[in-house]
Structure 1
Amino acid sequence: MSKYSFNEISLKQFIFIIFETQVGVGVLSLPGDLAKTAGTDGWISIILGWILANLLSLVIIKIMEKNPGYTLFEILTNYFGKWVGKGLSVLWILYAMYIASIALFSAIHIITIWILPRTLNFILIILFIIPNYLILKHGIKVIGIVSELVFITVLWIPLLLLYALKDAEWLYLLPIGKEGILPILSTAKSTLLSFLGFEMAFLLYPFLKDKKSASKGIIIANSLSMSIFLMVTIVSFVKFAPEEITDYLYPTLNLMKAIQLPVIERLEILFLPFYLFMPFMTIVPYLYMSVFGASHLLGKQDHRNLLLIALFFWIAVSFFFIPSSDQITQLNKGVSMIGICFTFVFPILFGIYGWLYHSFRKERKHEKV
């Protein structure tokens, strides 16, 4: 029996956690980011990013299949030894904490701009971290249950986007490929970062009850994310003029603002409170990955004390750090550079090393026989 068998998650929860981790804050700015580099051909880059994300996801699953009862932090120690393994674990802990922090401050920034401009940052952060603590102290099983509830809660939002097609100008998309192949290919790299979250399989796999379906599950999660990214991007491209969309920091929110309903004004104000469940579900898995890894590194079974330290750190930072729009943009550029290393370079090199590691062990067993 696996030591994680009492904290197992279903395939559906596995899919929802990865999907909700991916569709966080980035989807709000994605159409504008794509338009700046690939014009209205940016939607093609999403498909290319999806293909690349699936290939890398399958590499991660193959690595985990070789070590079904262990998380990433345990595998690193087994493969590389005590000191190198712990060093790599520290990098993953810092990476997860960085992504969680950027997601948190980006969400707070959006709330401050669009809903509560006069509310102090530390108050908003406290309101965010209370449910974070209540969920995370119970571990991955409760995160899985919450992911199901969040999926049901936000299920209506994509349908609302379709209402914006009422006054769409489909000619904005034509001719397809007008920017050339190079901008589309170069944008595919940054689009891959929109799928950040599939690396969460490194943590989730040992907790997955039906491990044989892990490959199918992660492809479904990536495909759900792709469908949302495509829908938001295409609707934004046909709703706003090509030169107009690049002026918006968060085109998706401007899209909601442009939707006129008979009984509701400022639709984005109604949309945002429900949408904030998504960045919340980006913060939760990454923060759990960070404190779970730190607990393993320190040899502790209970991660709650480290969780409290991380949450109080966020509150302390909020007293003297209030990121502006430009700072949020710069922080997200940092995510781009770091994300490439941890989601593209690491799985490939680790997969090659793992293959050599297991091949060498087989050869040694044959020699002993």
Structure 2
Amino acid sequence: MEKKLSTARGSISKFQLFFLIIQSQVGIGLLSLPSDMYQSVDGDGWISTLIAGAAVQLLLLIYWALYKRFPNHNFSEMTIKLFGNIAGKAYNIFFGICCMVIAGLSSTLYTEMINIWLLPQTPKWALLVLIVATCLFLALEDIKIISRFFVVSSFLFAILILMSLLNLKEDMHVTYLLPIAKSNFLDIVKGSHHTFLSMIGFEIVLFAFTYVKSDTRGLLKVISFANLFVTILYTYFVLICLLSFSPNALKQLQSPLLFMLKGLAFRLVERLDLIFLSLWIVPMTTSIIAYLYIAGKSLSNNPRFYRKSVIVSSAVIFIAGYYLSTLEQLDQVSQWIQNSYFVVIGGVPAFMLLLSFLLKKVTKRCPS
């Protein structure tokens, strides 16, 4: 088979792509996920998490197949090629706005979590400014710098997992999971949407494929292993929370993972929950950085205007985040936003792949 080499503008390795994906996916949703899963399917939440991972893998396969049809093209360029110049650019702007709204929602959830657990006296708008400004600082750089930061910050996962393992010394009840698959299978499948929405961020590959120094088969392996890592990570945290808390506790706790660590104390270290949350701020912000990057690329493919697009996107994210923080029924609004975004990252790429076959549109990879 002919090896498909990367283009001249490829600038990141497969190793960097791996961490770019997992850092874009993992965020604040993990902290409340065990509680959400239990309320949906009781002790079978870990099964729903595995199903969500399979759904993400299916979408990644669609993205990969779409890239094989249009090598050397990012998602914004694909839409123009399939939908035409006007309709394609209009959709790209819509896609960018959707990313800004999702990032604004994430920023709101971050500020609320920090305000409740770490800085109760600090105004939420001030926290929002700090978060958006920090993310903007890095998002202004190119993808090579962003991916390097994601690689370096990924060592925090090892620390966070180690901290969670300390809880394994406490009493854990396997009976909380029994009987396995006691919920209706259809309910288990429906419950997987909580995990899926917590795992969004993988769509960054639509804009990162063209920068990776690899053939298409190598790209498929990387994105698959990245999704496997995130799926196992989410399943692990859901499991330890299901084993550590009684059913009544999980129904009442919004962030069971933090409460689990709150009960641990050692001679030299106390309040591991605060240490955990302080470290978790980094994975939370990396997902916003990823959305800033995607939004900037959606608004403009021209490198000269990318920085301006990111600055405009950050302003919209702040406005969206501030507005959402004033809503009383944020949970209902967030569910509507996330479900709508699923159509954008799932339905449209699948339709584009089908359309490319119907119109028999395909481009050849340019030589490096």
Scaled by the length of structure 1, what TM-score is found? 0.90
Taking the aligned partners of 1:270 and 1:106, their CA distance within structure 2 comes to: 19
With over 3 angstroms needed to count, the CA separation of the structure-2 counterparts of 1:179 and 1:271, relative to structure 1, is: same
CA contact (8 A) 1:92 1:290 kept: yes
Q: What aligned pairs does 1:12-27 form with structure 2 within 5 A after superposition? A: 12-27=15-30
Amino acid at match of 1:169: H
CA contact (8 A) 2:105 2:324 kept: no
Taking the aligned partners of 2:65 and 2:176, their CA distance within structure 1 comes to: 42
Taking the aligned partners of 2:36 and 2:139, their CA distance within structure 1 comes to: 32
- Which residue does 1:107 correspond to in 2? 110
- Which residue does 1:168 correspond to in 2? 172
Greater shift after overlay, 166-175 or 307-316?
A: 307-316
SS in 2 for 1:177: coil
Greater shift after overlay, 313-322 or 202-211?
A: 313-322
- Which residue does 2:241 correspond to in 1? 236
Correspondence 1:260 to 2:262: no
Greater shift after overlay, 338-347 or 89-98?
A: 338-347
* Unaligned ranges ≥5, structure 1: 363-369
Tell me how large the CA RMSD over aligned residues is.
Answer: 2.4
Taking the aligned partners of 1:337 and 1:327, their CA distance within structure 2 comes to: 16
CA contact (8 A) 1:193 1:339 kept: no
Correspondence 1:158 to 2:161: yes
Taking the aligned partners of 1:85 and 1:316, their CA distance within structure 2 comes to: 26
Runs of 4+ in 1 over 3 A off after TM superposition: 2-7, 312-324, 359-362
Correspondence 1:294 to 2:299: yes
Taking the aligned partners of 2:303 and 2:227, their CA distance within structure 1 comes to: 33
Aligned-pair CA distance for 1:360: 9.3
Amino acid at match of 1:176: I
Aligned-pair CA distance for 1:244: 1.3
Amino acid at match of 1:194: S
Aligned-pair CA distance for 1:7: 5.9
Taking the aligned partners of 2:282 and 2:151, their CA distance within structure 1 comes to: 12
Taking the aligned partners of 2:274 and 2:194, their CA distance within structure 1 comes to: 29
- Which residue does 2:251 correspond to in 1? 246
With over 3 angstroms needed to count, the CA separation of the structure-2 counterparts of 1:274 and 1:323, relative to structure 1, is: farther
Taking the aligned partners of 1:187 and 1:315, their CA distance within structure 2 comes to: 31
Q: What aligned pairs does 1:336-347 form with structure 2 within 5 A after superposition? A: 336-347=338-349
Report how many aligned residue pairs link the two structures.
Answer: 359
- Which residue does 1:365 correspond to in 2? none
Correspondence 1:200 to 2:204: yes
Taking the aligned partners of 2:135 and 2:105, their CA distance within structure 1 comes to: 15
- Which residue does 1:51 correspond to in 2? 54
CA contact (8 A) 2:70 2:362 kept: no
- Which residue does 2:334 correspond to in 1? 332
SS in 1 for 2:354: helix
With over 3 angstroms needed to count, the CA separation of the structure-2 counterparts of 1:169 and 1:60, relative to structure 1, is: same
Deviation per CA, 1:47-72: give whole Å up to 9, x if none.
Answer: 11111211111111110122121111
Amino acid at match of 1:201: V
CA contact (8 A) 1:154 1:274 kept: no
Name which of 76, 80, 101 aligns with 1:77: 80
With over 3 angstroms needed to count, the CA separation of the structure-2 counterparts of 1:58 and 1:265, relative to structure 1, is: same
Taking the aligned partners of 1:301 and 1:288, their CA distance within structure 2 comes to: 14
SS in 2 for 1:358: coil
Aligned-pair CA distance for 1:300: 6.4
Amino acid at match of 1:356: L
Taking the aligned partners of 1:188 and 1:261, their CA distance within structure 2 comes to: 36
Deviation per CA, 1:254-293: give whole Å up to 9, x if none.
Answer: 1221223333222111111111111101000111110121
What is the percent sequence identity of the aligned residues? 24
With over 3 angstroms needed to count, the CA separation of the structure-2 counterparts of 1:320 and 1:68, relative to structure 1, is: closer
Amino acid at match of 1:97: M
SS in 2 for 1:116: coil
Taking the aligned partners of 2:318 and 2:139, their CA distance within structure 1 comes to: 17
Amino acid at match of 2:200: L
Taking the aligned partners of 2:83 and 2:238, their CA distance within structure 1 comes to: 42
SS in 2 for 1:48: helix
Amino acid at match of 2:189: L
Taking the aligned partners of 1:184 and 1:23, their CA distance within structure 2 comes to: 22
Correspondence 1:358 to 2:363: no
CA contact (8 A) 2:70 2:78 kept: yes
Name which of 111, 120, 123 aligns with 1:120: 123
Taking the aligned partners of 1:230 and 1:361, their CA distance within structure 2 comes to: 39
- Which residue does 2:279 correspond to in 1? 274
SS in 1 for 2:205: helix
Taking the aligned partners of 1:303 and 1:208, their CA distance within structure 2 comes to: 19
Amino acid at match of 2:101: Y
- Which residue does 1:66 correspond to in 2? 69
